[in-house]
Amino acid sequence: MNNKEKEREIRTSWKMRALGALVGWMMRFFAVTLRMEVVDRCGFTDRAKNSSPRIWCIWHSRIAGTLMSRRRIFRWRKGVVLTSASHDGAALAGVARVVGLEAVRGSSSRRGSEALREMVQAVRKGLDVAVTPDGPRGPRYRLSSGLIKLAQVTRAPVMGVHVHYSRAIRLKTWDRFVIPLPFSKLTIIFDELLDVPRKLDDDAFESKRVEAESMMRAEVDDLDLPTYDHSQRKRNRR
């Protein structure tokens, strides 16, 4: 694929990039007001012992807390985040760059295979890769198979990242996106590593996907909340 074809597949604009940068700086300033606690079950924050790349697994609704904590807790880690090839993905890529992370653009609906190749290359360069396996459109807390495929190809371990807030607001989006309130406490948990063998048959692959999904859902505090239905909202307005 040449550069022109890539540009047509990836949607972006200076407005979305500027919006992302603005939101990123707002998040950096906002993060100063938060109290942060770290629960490190895998030695992720031990700079002397753990420099090998890892695949971060983060639910879409917890992106804000993870990005806010980066510069105070693990700013020395280098990595990329997977964002969609849509305009929203361009904004999120802008946010990520403000906190020191690069972006790979793609999703299951657009540039999926290209994004996978770029993430594999990033891991081989020694970079962490952050993936929201229920994004960009859900279902909420459903782990897609792409993350397991990435771990299978690269042999980099999967690290679940969980974020809890003492006080927060939840948006009425499909993922019930969570934003901490000023001067609240943010607890970020780096879970035990999950290894994915290179060779798996279909049943073993699905078993590993379920294992990763169960690990991530075990630390969620709002499984009982319904998913917000945009289509229903539109019908109600008519």
Position 22 scores a pLDDT of 97
Residue carrying the six token digits 């983060």: 58
Of 132 and 112, more confident: 132
> What is the chain's Cα-based Rg?
17
Residue 3, strand partner residues: none
Position 238 scores a pLDDT of 44
* Mean pLDDT confidence for 157-184: 96
- CB neighbourhood size of 170 (10 A): 15
Percent pLDDT > 70 in the chain is: 90
* Mean pLDDT confidence for 221-230: 75
CA distances in angstroms from 125 to 29, 119, 148, listed in the order given: 31, 10, 19
d(Cα 64, Cα 60) in Å, to the nearest integer?
Answer: 9
Position 229 scores a pLDDT of 57
Position 117 scores a pLDDT of 94
User: Residues of 213-225 as b/e, b for ≥16 C-beta within 10 angstroms?
Assistant: bebbeebbeeeee
| pLDDT at 169 > cutoff 70 | yes
Sheet holding 158-165, edge to edge: 35-40, 185-194, 158-165, 55-58, 128-131, 79-83, 102-105
DSSP 40: E
| pLDDT at 192 > cutoff 90 | yes
d(Cα 82, Cα 102) in Å, to the nearest integer?
Answer: 9
Position 10 scores a pLDDT of 76
Tell me: the pLDDT tens digits for 31-74?
A: 999 999 999 999 999 988 777 999 999 999 999 999 999 999 99
Position 8 scores a pLDDT of 47
d(Cα 123, Cα 84) in Å, to the nearest integer?
Answer: 19
Domain map of the chain by residue range?
3-220
Position 217 scores a pLDDT of 97
User: Coil, helix or strand for 32?
Assistant: coil
d(Cα 113, Cα 213) in Å, to the nearest integer?
Answer: 22
Tell me: the pLDDT tens digits for 82-105?
A: 998 888 889 999 999 999 999 999
| pLDDT at 127 > cutoff 50 | yes
- Tell me the torsion sign for CA atoms 216, 60, 132, 146: positive
Position 136 scores a pLDDT of 86
For residue 69, the surrounding DSSP H or E stretch is: helix 63-73
